Amino acid sequence: MKIHPEGYIIILVAFLLLAGMNAAIRYFWPHQWLTILLGIASFVFFCTVVWFFRNPDRTLTPDDRQIFAPADGKIVAVEEVDEPEYFHDRRIQVSIFMSPLNVHVNRYPVSGEVTYAKYHPGKYMVAWHPKSSLLNERSTTVIKVPNGQEILVRQIAGAVARRIVTYSKPGEQAVQGADLGFIKFGSRVDLFLPLDAKVNVQPEQVAKGNQTVIATFE
């Protein structure tokens, strides 16, 4: 199983802490049943941490007309809204809720030039709350595609997430399917699309990053 680099330090720290705790328990309270139970619980917890940072190979064939899902999770919103941070006009919003069980790698939905990237500190409301897009800790990336249109991707922290990582920088070239960032421990990703984009998904549908086509350009 391939592990995302964002997990290397956390996995190492988890291993050292669990190993130290198990060694201390074995030394100070050498009860066989206790050491066995603690060993099993530690192994399960460690495997869960490693599994959270899994990074499955999701290769795709680049297509300038298609907008791929930037994350794994459930579609919780498909609606026309006002986007107040960058566009200041009406856009189609598609929101993907990522539970702690989902792959948490975020990927570029399109190729093009990164024209805007900004991090915003904020609250930690549940990620499916409608106002989390504006009030929670979040990071916004805008990509200008070859046809001149722009796509906004917003990474949003949730009630559990406390760390948003974004690799985008203005002026860089985004490559469709490549890593855009990572959100640790539960979150949401919003896409803001042009009104003339043809949306191919609906609420409650399960999306997979680099596999589900969210929309196509007309």
The pLDDT tens digits of the residues spanning 82-112 come to 999 999 999 999 999 988 788 888 999 999 9
Q: Amino acid identity of 27? A: Y
Q: Which of 41, 43, 71, 67 is nearest to 161 (CA)?
A: 71
In whole numbers, what is the pLDDT of the chain averaged over residues? 87
Across the chain, which distance is largest between two alpha carbons, in Å?
Answer: 68
More confident residue, 32 or 150: 150
Task: List beta partners, residue 114.
Answer: 143
**In this structure, how many other beta carbons lie within 10 angstroms of the beta carbon of residue 28?**
7
Cα-based angle 148, 154, 155 (whole degrees, multiple of 5):
145
Q: In the prediction, which pLDDT does 6 show?
A: 80
In the set 132, 133, 139, 187, the catalytic residue is 187
Respond yes or no: is residue 187 known to be catalytic.
yes
More confident residue, 98 or 158: 98
pTM: 0.83
Q: In the prediction, which pLDDT does 215 show?
A: 96
Q: In the prediction, which pLDDT does 113 show?
A: 96
For residue 173, name the pLDDT band (cuts at 50, 70, 90): very high
d(Cα 103, Cα 5) in Å, to the nearest integer?
Answer: 14
